[in-house]
Structure 1
Amino acid sequence: MTVTDSATTALSQGWCALSLLHGRIETHIERALQGGHDLSVREYSLLDVLSRQHSGVGGHLRMQQVAESVVLSQSATTRLVSRLEDRGLLNRYICDTDRRGIYTDVSEAGLALLAAARPTNDAALREALDEAARDPKLAPLVAAVENTHHDGRA
């Protein structure tokens, strides 16, 4: 095995550990959100992203920006927005300055559900990270996530 092969293998193992950590966290949060609030992780993420919009310059996100924020394709994001709109959690409207632009805001019901679900999400994240920290393969990644959070960097 060459040095390059060894480095590639280590990189691959690191990626597998990161993927495992992500999967465990997402599964844990999904169960908590579904059980407590009838929300998926993607639905929660979409509500969270859209709730952070503001009326200032650049404050409303176009669908492509929303899709990038929730790590979905634009078509999957549009379907997700439609489902949440059907549930009364989102409202869509035409942009005043660009009639081609359609914006989406979180409704009052959506904001209330998001506020109720946020502690569940945060607690499930904490539980998943604590559990993963007990796994020697994942502990360094958990520490990196926690240090990034504490450093104030995203």
Structure 2
Amino acid sequence: MREYSLLDAVSRQHDGDGRHLQMKQGADAVVLSQSATTRLLTRLEDRRLLERYLCPTDRRGIYTNVTEAGLTLLAAARPTNDAALREALAEAAETPELAPLVRVVESLKAPAAAA
């Protein structure tokens, strides 16, 4: 789930032609520590799903890009992820304490799918 979440977060970031995210933003997106995010990025990079590069204007900054292979995998996984989320929300809606939260979540506009 964390791998999917990180790939999704990075794929939704745009700067010109690339899709990238600063490593700190990636850690925030998947609610992990910086060191855990680095390990996750390394695993995804080893699988050639992400790539890292230095920020061209601030050599201290490290960015990540989703590769074409990462975008392909993300697109293939999205229907399964969406179905699991719908199922979890349906289950939560049956719990009186959670039903109001589910209604709020369901009222939010879904972001446009990544190109």
TM-score by length of 1: 0.64
Q: Tell me which residue corresponds to 1:68.
A: 28
Deviation per CA, 1:111-151: give whole Å up to 9, x if none. 0000011111111111111122122232222122212x159
Matches within 5 A, 1:1-150: 41-56=1-16, 60-147=20-107, 149-150=108-109
Superposed CA RMSD in Å reads: 2.0
Q: Is the 8 A contact 2:49 2:70 kept in 1?
A: yes
Question: How big is the shift at 1:84?
Answer: 0.6
With over 3 angstroms needed to count, the CA separation of the structure-2 counterparts of 1:60 and 1:87, relative to structure 1, is closer
Question: Any idea what SS the aligned residue of 1:44 has?
Answer: helix
Higher helix residue share = 1
Identity of aligned residues (%): 72
> Which protein is richer in strand relative to its size?
2
Q: Which runs of 5+ in 2 are unaligned?
A: none
Task: Name the count of aligned residue pairs.
Answer: 109
Q: CA deviation at 1:50?
A: 0.6
Any stretches of 5+ residues in structure 1 without a counterpart?
1-40
- What is the TM-score normalised by the length of structure 2? 0.83
| Structure of larger gyration radius | 1
Of structures 1 and 2, the one with the larger relative CO (CA 8 A, separation 6+) is: 1
1:101 shift after superposition? 2.0
